[in-house]
Amino acid sequence: MRQGFGVEFMYVSIDHCGQSEQVQVANAHTRRGPLRCKQCDALISGIDVSGAQSWIDSQVARKRELTQTGQLGTRKQSAHQSDEQIDRDGLSAELAACAILCPHSLEVWRRAAHKSRGNHGRDLLRYWTGLNQPVEVKHTRYQDAKRGFLLVRPPRQTPGRMGEEYIDDAIYVLMVGEPFQHQFVGWTNREGLVREGQLNPVPMQPGQRESWGMHWSQLRPLDELAGDMGRGGMLRAIARRVADFGGA
C-alpha cells in the first residue's frame, strides 16, 4: 500500500472466464488500452468497484461540504434521488468507466477527481483513453425497453432551454447500475446525439431543466470505441495531449 496522499486500499473486480480478478488501482499502469480479461483477452464491460467504497464515500462527503458552504452549486437532477445519492452514483460510475476504458490512468483520474469541482465535459482525458475527444460519463440505474437514457442537460448557471450548443464535442458514454456494480452500455458522440437524439425523452420533473438524449438501445458498442483508441501514431498522441491541456 502506498502512503503519502492518503491512498486507501482500492481495487476493482472483474469476473470473466469463470475467474474473479482484482486490479489494484495503484498498480493499474501496466498496460495501455481498455480493460481486458487476462485469460481470453476479451473486452470487459462489467465491473465491481466496491473495493473503492471508502474513497467514494469520502469524496461524496467532501462534495457535500463544498455545497453546504456555498462553494459548489446543487444539481437537483432528479426528484427521486438526493444530491448525495446522485453524486455517489456518478462518481462510482465514472470510476468504473475509467477502469474499463483506461485502467492505467485510474490513479491519475483518482487524483484529478479529488481536486475536481465538476469538470464539465471532460471526465476522461484524451491522453488517458487514446481517443480524439474527451469522454463524458453519464449514468442511469435502469435499463429496459422504456428506461435507460443517455441525457445531456444545460450546464449550471446557464439560462433557458436545452440547445445543441450544450452538447459537447465529446464521446458520451452511458453506464448502468448503482454503486458498486456498473456496466458499460454504449456510447455516442456529438454528431450521433444531434442526429438521433430527442428533446426531453424523459418527462421533466418539477424544477428540472430540459434534456436532450438517446435510449441505450441506440448507442454504439464498446468494441467500436476500443477500436478507435490509440489511432494515428505518435503525432496524434501528442496532439491529444496538447488538446487536453489546452483547456478544450
Residue 39 in the binding site for Zn ion (CB under 5 A)? yes
Nearer to Zn ion, 166 or 184 (CB): 184
Give CA–CA dist 134/228, Å, rounded. 13
**Minimum distance of Zn ion from residue 21's CB (angstroms):** 9
Q: Candidates 14-22, 47-55, 170-178, 205-213: pick the segment binding Zn ion (CB under 5 A).
A: 14-22
Nearer to Zn ion, 37 or 243 (CB): 37
**Minimum distance of Zn ion from residue 35's CB (angstroms):** 11
Residue 46 in the binding site for Zn ion (CB under 5 A)? no
Burial environment of residue 1 by CB neighbours within 10 A (0 to 12, 13 to 18, 19 or more):
exposed
Residue 16 in the binding site for Zn ion (CB under 5 A)? yes
CA-derived radius of gyration, the chain: 18
SS3 31: coil
Looking at 17, 79, 194, 239, which residue binds Zn ion (CB under 5 A)?
17
Contact 43, 51 (CB under 8 A): no
Residues in contact with Zn ion, counted by CB under 5 A, come to a total of 6
SS3 61: helix
| Nearest residue to the partner Zn ion, using Cβ | 37
Burial environment of residue 6 by CB neighbours within 10 A (0 to 12, 13 to 18, 19 or more):
exposed
> 131-190: which residues touch Zn ion (CB under 5 A)?
none
Q: Which residues bind Zn ion (CB under 5 A)?
A: 16-17, 37, 39-40, 42
